[in-house]
A and B are shown apart, each in its own frame.
Chain A
């Protein structure tokens, strides 16, 4: 995977081509985990976190890449895959980091292409089909409005590898918020049709937002150890970003009453199987295939 800016080349490196350029950021040696609570328990928690972040980004990046060649205008045909490639870069960082911790010759490709659906730990929102442009844009806005403060908080936390990646991700996500947010405003406060479609997208997506802030024993342990941001802090900034944009978009106040759950425990909707069938086909049909 020499070039991240090459959708067709992603993930086609054979498992024995393990000598890939690594992020220059210092990381812990394999088997070691930063923080105050070294040991297997925290290592398992960190691996779980890397799958959660990595899978969120891989699956949403794949959904965005489905727009390539189908967007309503050329400009968005480039903008959406641009964001997809940013997300894919974060997924690769997570999987590469996890492979180093797990050792045993694992590579990032093993996580992306050789896990079954129940092993994926992303939230349910990111695997939902793209719907129309309003749905895709609003989902992107919600995700970016969450990930931007998430990475911002992460820059000061204990894991040097994640903190270093956060510096880069913050800039990418700032643009994602700006791009998707400006579209939310223009579609929400646009023509009667765009307003209707944005309203329908909001109704459809609202029940999937709460899962972003879900906590469990793993996330609480990681937050306590100073590795994961406090979700309440992230949510406050998310709420402020959403409120500001929704006001400008003349959308109703965002106040969901229900939140789907299950993705973080590997319980997914039926859409994931179809997505993985396309995402994983080449490595499943031709194991170890490379360009």
Chain B
């Protein structure tokens, strides 16, 4: 789409809940003039094969994203702290599958 269209028809992020009880997951984005049309576009683009029972759309401009340039300082420090994973506990048999 041309830049002129992008101003009139902005981008929306699409989240779909595949089944009742599960969380909405990000599936992609659509262009639409407003939230009503964005929901319809999301329905037409992302639920053609029965993928969902609920749709959220959010203006892409409303999302504050982390800076890719800060990826190392954001996420690298966690890589060396394996003790944060709760994988060092013996789980009693009575608990069953967790």
Contacts and interface: CB of A to CB of B under 8 A. Distances in A.
Mostly helix, strand, loop or mixed at chain A's interface?
helix
B48 A75 contact: no
Interface in B32-56: 32-34, 36-37, 40-41, 43-45, 48-49
A73 B9 contact: yes
A236 interface: no
Given A73-B9, A182-B36, A186-B37, A78 B44 contact: yes
Nearest to A185: B36
19 contacts: A5-B49, A73-B1, A73-B5, A73-B9, A73-B31, A75-B30, A75-B31, A75-B44, A75-B45, A79-B40, A79-B41, A79-B44, A82-B48, A178-B40, A179-B40, A186-B33, A186-B34, A186-B37, A191-B8
A145 B72 CA distance: 56
B98 to A, nearest CB: 40
Given A73-B1, A73-B9, A186-B33, A78 B45 contact: yes
Contacts of B31: 73-75
Interface of A: 5, 73-75, 78-79, 82, 175, 178-179, 182-183, 186, 191
Nearest to A178: B40
Interface of B: 1, 5, 8-9, 30-34, 36-37, 40-41, 43-45, 48-49
A188 to B, nearest CB: 13
Contacts of A178: 40
Contacts of A179: 40, 44
| Residue of B8, B36, B40, B44 ringed by the most chain A CB atoms within 10 A | B44
A191 B4 CA distance: 13
A6 to B, nearest CB: 12
Given A75-B44, A78-B48, A82-B44, A182 B37 contact: yes
B41 A75 contact: yes
A178 B30 CA distance: 18
A75 B32 contact: yes
Nearest to B43: A175
Contacts of A175: 43
Q: Pick the 5 closest A-B CB pairs, nearest first.
A: A75-B41, A79-B44, A78-B44, A78-B45, A75-B30
A174 B14 CA distance: 22
Given A182-B40, A186-B37, A74 B48 contact: no
A191 B31 CA distance: 18
| Residue of A5, A75, A82 ringed by the most chain B CB atoms within 10 A | A75
B40 A74 contact: no
Contacts of B48: 5, 78, 82
A149 B45 CA distance: 27
A89 B57 CA distance: 29
Contacts of A183: 37
Contacts of A82: 44, 48
A64 B40 CA distance: 17
A186 B41 CA distance: 14
Contacts of B34: 186
Given A78-B45, A186-B37, 14 more contacts: A5-B48, A73-B1, A73-B5, A73-B9, A73-B31, A75-B31, A75-B45, A78-B48, A179-B40, A179-B44, A182-B36, A182-B37, A186-B33, A191-B8
A75 B45 CA distance: 6
Contacts of A182: 36-37, 40
